[in-house]
Amino acid sequence: MTREYIKADNKWLRDLGLDEKWLKEKINEDPSLFGLGDLSVIERERTQPSGGRIDFLMYDPEDGVRYEIEVMLGRLDETHIIRTIEYWDIERKRFPGLQHRAVIIAEEITNRFFNIVSLLNQAVPIIAIQLNAFEIDSKVVLQFTKVLDLPAPAAEEDVSSAEKVDRSYWEKRSNPLSMAMVDKIISFIPAGVGDVRVTYNKYHIAVGTTGRNFLWLHPRKAASHLLAYVLLEGEERAKIVPKLEAADVLSSQSGRELSLKLKDKELREHKDIVIELFRLSEEYSRS
């Protein structure tokens, strides 16, 4: 079937007769719009001691991370950046036992302010998202693009510098189903590339062969799923990411890192795609 092509030009929301209030209502209705996961809204327009109000305070029910979110129509400016960081700092001091993320959403993030936010990103966990709006057949389409993510976790940590434990450590703190998936995934490592090297560290289970580690596994205690991280870049990455997204196993991507959230059902149904990913990542680890 031949699909019809329609050219859509990016529009400012105000030029479409829509305002910031309308945008916030859409975000409130569906917090997953901007690609940070299935978040829940704790509060809107939360009053701060400084006198301002944070647009959204959200959290991820699975990992408990809180997101201090500021929304702005038009171009990002310095006051918006300062306000976002200020609200993030207030909330993290209010609840120091939780992880917090500052999030900026704007319709345009110029190179100047992107560079500034990138520098701040080294010290503050700040995420920048650019919103593009399109009008198609009198309907409005919103597209949120994450232009700056958090620095990739220290997945490439040298095994020698990590605190080593043994398998029993993970068996005691992990759901048996989650640990069973660890063994299943390790069995997926392509044969003929050398002995599989499994290192049990305090914060992850690292897997490698003859090159660098390429796979990091995080069994869960209260849930039966498993988190897996691999490193991959270049053309091969571009080819496999759409497959992972179609299989609904790709949790996030940042830098060279791909994060997967795997359950036994997905692992069985999409085994070939997962094995292909591990093969590509293993080859990448030896390049």
Pick from 34-43, 50-59, 216-225: least confident: 216-225
Number of structural domains found in the chain: 2
CA distance 81 to 72: 10
In this structure, how many other beta carbons lie within 10 angstroms of the beta carbon of residue 213? 22
- Confidence label for 22 from pLDDT (cuts 50, 70 and 90): very high
Averaged pLDDT for residues 149-168: 63
Domain's final residue, options 95, 121, 148: 148
Residue for token pair 């059902």:
265
The secondary structure of residue 201, as a DSSP letter, is B
Single out the residue of 3, 10, 69 nearest to residue 35, CA to CA: 69
End position of a domain, from candidates 148, 173, 189:
148
Residues 137 and 183 in one domain: no
The residue ranking higher by pLDDT, 238 or 190, is 238
pLDDT of residue 65: 87
Angle at the Cα of 107 from the Cα atoms of 47 and 255, rounded to 5 degrees:
95
Q: Does pLDDT of 100 surpass 60?
A: yes
Which tens digit of pLDDT belongs to each residue from 171-197? 888 888 888 889 999 888 876 677 889
Number of DSSP helices (H) and strands (E) in the chain, helices first: 8, 13
Of the residues 98, 113, 148, the one at which a domain ends: 148
Strand order in the sheet with 215-219: 197-200, 205-208, 215-219, 226-231, 257-262, 250-254
- The pLDDT of residue 24: 92
Q: Clarify whether residues 122 and 204 are in a common domain.
A: no
Would you say residue 158 has pLDDT above 50?
A: no
Q: For the domain that residue 278 is a member of, what is the CATH number?
A: 3.90.1150
- Judging by beta carbons within 10 Å of its beta carbon (0-12, 13-18, 19+), is residue 22 exposed, middle or buried? middle
The larger pLDDT score, comparing residue 93 to residue 203, is at 93
**pLDDT of 156 over the 80 cut:** no
Average pLDDT, the chain: 85
> Domain limits at 171?
159-285
| Banded model confidence at residue 60, pLDDT cuts 50, 70, 90 | confident
